[in-house]
Structure 1
């Protein structure tokens, strides 16, 4: 739940503050943001599964963002669009986590309706 609140605060700050990212940095920021979203969805999934660990979340949040931005930078220097690999991997993981979150929420809702 903490991760979701943090996400909402971040979105609100992003909407309220005028932050301009230079065009040269936008590929790095986009994959870093995608990596962070992957960590947030993973945290929500872990929280619903009752196995959330804050140290795992924090290390994954920053580690994934740095790794994704590093891959984008390395690919930029090599002239290869390696950021696409990060987009595919993190995008797939986000959809997988969303599917599990959806199933867990539906199961919880059905168990409440049955009175369990």
Structure 2
């Protein structure tokens, strides 16, 4: 469970320590990729806490989400419509939903443990 979180922290640290700049024309693709990665990470944490985690679903979901979102963004660029916003909205809603479920599950586990120790 800790491996994805450690990977995320290492990636953030490397990003802050380097002077790499993303060209402006790729920012919509990058925002989708970051949201897809976060959605997959928190979805994996949620599945782990619910004891339904499957690494095949985790990996294929990550790549499918990125490819679908990038395809929407690419199609939107060629149609002149900001279709990437639909992917950002969908990933954002799922991300906050997963975080809320994780928070409730951890809070319930903590309260149960705290109540049993009293």
- TM-score, with structure 2 as normaliser: 0.91
Gaps of 5+ in 1: none
Alpha-carbon deviation of 1:37?
0.9
d(CA) in 1 for partners of 2:95 and 2:52? 18
Q: 1:80-109 CA deviation, whole Å, 9 max, x = no partner?
A: 110110011000000000000000110110
Gaps of 5+ in 2: none
* RMSD, aligned CA: 1.3
Which residue of 1 is the match for residue 100 of structure 2? Answer: 99
Which residue of 2 is the match for residue 34 of structure 1? Answer: 35
Number of residues of Structure 1 aligned to a counterpart in Structure 2:
116
d(CA) in 2 for partners of 1:71 and 1:42? 21
